Structure 1
Amino acid sequence: MRDRFINTPAAYALGMFAMMVPSQAFLSYFNYYYVEKLGLGLALATIARTIYLFWDAVNNPMAGYLSDRTKTRFGRRRPWIMGSIPVFMLVFIMVFSVPRGLEDTGLFVWLVLSIVLFEGVATLLWVNYGALFPELFQGERLRAKASAVQQIYQIVALLIGTSLTPIIYGAIGFGWMSVSYSLLFGVCMIGFVLSIREREDIPQAAPMPMLEAFRVTLKNKPFWTFNIANSFAQTVNGLLGALMPFYAKYALHISERYVSVLMAAVFVSVIPLVAAWYYISRKLGGLSSWRLAFAVYGLAAVPLWFANNLGEGIVAGIIAGFGMAGFLVTPALLSSRIIDLDAERTGHRREGIYTAVAGFITRSSGLIAALAFWIVGLLYGYESGDKPGPHPETVFRVLISAVPFILLAVSFVVSLFVKLSEKRISGEEEGSVGE
């Protein structure tokens, strides 16, 4: 029975679940924890996030390059993942376990140190995990199935990381919440590592020299256009998760204990909506459905502006969830196909470096989110939970509705410049996902 589970979509998706629970809790609540709960100034929080992103720019490509060059009897990716598991657990606990008595400067230093360490080890995990997908799942049909299963696991993890987190930290505090999630991560991630075997039947050419590897990657225009479009949409994902606690408090005027209800309504609705988008992608093909997802997601963010209570917030959140589901489902086939085309052209399988650079581009969306938070807060006088200013409700309506609409409009326009043909992208040469 165990052998039948090896290298299945469910086995691979277990890794996504393991990493996504603490990662989503981090993205959704570290800003809220430091700014709203601990009183760190918004300007210092933005500077810390900027430092985090500069570090991300350095470590992501290097992690991918080193991963591609690794050769052990356990594979190229698995050793990096196994070594990162205990470090990730410890650093995640560090983020949410701030020593008592720290003022602004001390809080800022702790935040910078903890998120830089978190980003470093998270990069090793995500790069090596993502690099396994194109290798383990060959052909458009299998990739479509693996992507769908992966997104279901991801949404369950999103639900836990966003909706359950307020209940947990409300009951036992942020520190013990981080301990609980670290243990869950450790158990599930070990199960993932034991259930994955890297393929030995794919021929590997000698690794490219470093400068040549980066030069070829930088010249791949479809890759850059695809990921730049995704980065703006990823900003919206981050904003929706991170701003829900603020939006619930200031715009919907509901207490913290109902934040979980609001989050659950959004993310539970995404699970069946993933199936709807899978069907849409089969009918329209990868490229067209990917572009459509941006347009739908942008329009779906608009109702969040008009919600005034929990009930209206739930309805608006479900509508936004439909757009989010489209963005979760559609990019995977395109990304894998771009990597395949690069391998056909260069003779090198370079999943690691492409996954790493793509990860940096999309995670740079955090800087856009941080700048949007800072600029809109500055315009309306919001500094922190201690100094919310005269118009905190407007701040968070703009950030959760107007800003996402603008960013997704940019994503849609950029997506029109992807030059790969619909035929190749949708997999018609190997069996189209639309069949």
Structure 2
Amino acid sequence: METTQAPVRRTRPINYAIGMFGTSIPVNMFKTYAAIFYVDRLSLITTKQFSLVLLLYTFLDALDNPVYGFLSDRTRSKWGRRRLWLLIGAPLLVICFILFYNPPGSLGPGTAFPYIMLMYMLTGTLDSLINSNYGALFPELFRTEAERAKTNAMRQIFQFIAMIISIALTPIVTSAIGYANTSFIYGALAIAVIWYMTLNSHENLALQDKPKPQLFKTIATIASNPKFWIYGIANAAFFAGLGLVQAGVPFYVKYHLIGKDMDSTILLGVVLLSTIALIPVWVQIIKKMTLMPAWRLALIVCGASLVPLYFVPSLPLAIITVVIFGFGLAGVSTTMDIVGARILDEDAEKHGIQREGTYSSLIGVLNKTSGLFSSLAFYLMFQIFRFENGDNPGPVPDQASRFLTVLFPLGVMVICVVMSRFLHFPERKAVAPGQAETE
């Protein structure tokens, strides 16, 4: 397919960055409150059954991510390679998200599991479709490290604003209007923002003239790159720890702090607000320390901040602790995607093929192996502490909640820090293929 060599329209960083708000709104509520909704509030499944849902979904993710990325890389259309998938995928994702939080009234403890499994799978796989294409746009639209640092900082701020709404405020919103109505509102926001971002992001159509990647050769090339594995495992460990902290806070507040839903909102809100406020600080730290040392420092801060959270007996002390966690989270959020873009740059320069979609999706596969960690955490919560659900929380729910929220995430954070020590790049600016066309 030959494309007309027209000047490439520059995408404004804010128009792309706001897309993170749209992609984050539904998936954060979906993943953070799935357990508390079905296990504790409705008591339709046990923690053991929920761990099985996470386990099976992880294997689905391992299959769907590279398929979505490969199809995206090979797409040739007047819309470009990514935007068509985003326009179609957004409403499908929202429909499944709404159905997940609107289970049929006829479901009971003996019949709910198949429905929950199906809707979790569908919502999760459509989230993968959206994020593989959204993520693949980043290294193409923004070529220099300065552009990427600025855009990614904005993107992370939008993500954390979405997290304030869909994680921190969700207990308040759902208490007022219920999970069903909340899912409708979040879904409508998601479609509007994703479509706005898609229509205002301008792909370089000339890149469609490059050779189409071949599936097995592409996977073999990527799999033979040790940087892909180091970064992917570190990424997966981090998101596993972060996801468990988020999902565990409602349990931590209820069973350790003996608090109310509002206390969960306060804790999660403090994490997210401190993260947003401290992202600009990390932009300056990157300038002084350079990218890789800043990334490693941020990972260490995140892990170390979990230690005091195990011991604090009150909400005020927990708030102080999570501010430190927010500082580390700001650093990881600012640096993580730029580190991944470095790997993509090296691959494009070496092989002359644009395969950001497949690369991003395969990294997504490793990211989603975080589900294995999460599944194991809930399984151990059941086996060690006999915590089944809200009706039967076992003899030591306090210890169970701290295991889920602190101890297990701390263990996987240590893995993340260790892996990061083995990833190295020369400190340089990214080189754009066809740079003369865009500058």
TM-score norm. by structure 1 comes to 0.94
Structure 1 position 351 matched with structure 2 position 368: no
Contact kept, 8 Å, 2:143 with 2:430, in 1: the verdict is no
Q: Give the C-alpha shift of residue 195 in structure 1.
A: 1.2
- 1:319-354 deviation digits (Å, cap 9, x = unpaired): 221121121111121111110100111110110001
- 1:258-310 deviation digits (Å, cap 9, x = unpaired): 32122211211111111122221221111111111221111111121122222
Contact kept, 8 Å, 1:286 with 1:422, in 2: the verdict is no
Structure 1 position 65 matched with structure 2 position 70: yes
Q: Name structure 1 gaps, 5 residues minimum.
A: 431-435
Distance 1:110 1:203 in 2: 41
* Residue equivalent to 2:152: 147
Structure 1 position 405 matched with structure 2 position 402: no
* Residue equivalent to 1:342: 347
Residue 81 of structure 2: which of 69, 72, 76 is its match? Answer: 76
What percentage of residue pairs aligned between the two structures are identical? Answer: 34
Distance 2:425 2:11 in 1: 30
Structure 1 position 22 matched with structure 2 position 49: no
Q: Give the C-alpha shift of residue 105 in structure 1.
A: 3.6
- 1:72-118 deviation digits (Å, cap 9, x = unpaired): 00110000000112111110101111112422342111111101111
Q: Give the C-alpha shift of residue 162 in structure 1.
A: 0.7
Contact kept, 8 Å, 1:253 with 1:309, in 2: the verdict is no
Distance 1:163 1:372 in 2: 22
Secondary structure, counterpart of 1:330 in structure 2: helix
Residue range with higher mean Cα deviation, 288-297 or 341-350: 288-297
* Residue equivalent to 2:113: 108
* Residue equivalent to 2:427: 423
Distance 1:220 1:204 in 2: 25
1:409 partner amino acid: V
Residue 367 of structure 1: which of 357, 368, 372 is its match? Answer: 372
Q: Give the C-alpha shift of residue 201 in structure 1.
A: 4.7
Residue range with higher mean Cα deviation, 401-410 or 153-162: 401-410
Q: Give the C-alpha shift of residue 203 in structure 1.
A: 6.8
- 1:350-379 deviation digits (Å, cap 9, x = unpaired): 100011011111121022012112213321
- 1:214-249 deviation digits (Å, cap 9, x = unpaired): 111111111111111111111111011111111110
Contact kept, 8 Å, 2:48 with 2:378, in 1: the verdict is no
Distance 2:114 2:386 in 1: 25
Residue 283 of structure 2: which of 278, 294, 297 is its match? Answer: 278
Contact kept, 8 Å, 1:300 with 1:322, in 2: the verdict is no
**What are the within-5 Å matches in structure 2 for residues 287-298 of structure 1?**
287-298=292-303
Residue 253 of structure 2: which of 248, 251, 258 is its match? Answer: 248
Contact kept, 8 Å, 1:41 with 1:104, in 2: the verdict is no
Contact kept, 8 Å, 1:69 with 1:76, in 2: the verdict is yes
Contact kept, 8 Å, 2:236 with 2:370, in 1: the verdict is yes
**What are the within-5 Å matches in structure 2 for residues 305-324 of structure 1?**
305-324=310-329
Q: Give the C-alpha shift of residue 57 in structure 1.
A: 0.8
Residue 213 of structure 2: which of 208, 211, 215 is its match? Answer: 208
Structure 1 position 11 matched with structure 2 position 15: yes
Distance 2:280 2:37 in 1: 34
Distance 1:318 1:413 in 2: 24
Q: Give the C-alpha shift of residue 165 in structure 1.
A: 0.8
TM-score norm. by structure 2 comes to 0.93
Q: Give the C-alpha shift of residue 405 in structure 1.
A: 2.1
Distance 1:374 1:422 in 2: 42
Residue 136 of structure 2: which of 123, 131, 135 is its match? Answer: 131
* Residue equivalent to 1:235: 240
Structure 1 position 382 matched with structure 2 position 424: no
Distance 2:74 2:358 in 1: 10
Distance 1:104 1:216 in 2: 47
Distance 2:409 2:129 in 1: 29
Residue 272 of structure 2: which of 267, 271, 281 is its match? Answer: 267
1:28 partner amino acid: T
* Residue equivalent to 1:433: none
2:282 partner amino acid: W
Secondary structure, counterpart of 2:175 in structure 1: helix
Secondary structure, counterpart of 2:362 in structure 1: helix
* Residue equivalent to 1:221: 226
Secondary structure, counterpart of 1:62 in structure 2: helix
Residue range with higher mean Cα deviation, 128-137 or 287-296: 287-296
Q: Give the C-alpha shift of residue 202 in structure 1.
A: 4.2
Is the alpha carbon distance of 1:105 and 1:367 closer, same or farther for their aligned partners in structure 2, counting shifts above 3 Å? farther
Q: Name structure 2 gaps, 5 residues minimum.
A: 1-8, 433-439
Distance 2:128 2:262 in 1: 33
* Residue equivalent to 1:258: 263
Distance 1:403 1:276 in 2: 29
Contact kept, 8 Å, 1:265 with 1:317, in 2: the verdict is yes
Structure 1 position 394 matched with structure 2 position 399: yes
Distance 1:204 1:414 in 2: 37
Contact kept, 8 Å, 1:27 with 1:241, in 2: the verdict is no
Distance 1:71 1:321 in 2: 41
Is the alpha carbon distance of 1:428 and 1:202 closer, same or farther for their aligned partners in structure 2, counting shifts above 3 Å? closer
2:94 partner amino acid: M
Q: Give the C-alpha shift of residue 251 in structure 1.
A: 1.0
How many pairs does the alignment contain? 423
Contact kept, 8 Å, 1:254 with 1:309, in 2: the verdict is no
Q: Give the C-alpha shift of residue 399 in structure 1.
A: 2.2
Residue 299 of structure 1: which of 273, 291, 304 is its match? Answer: 304
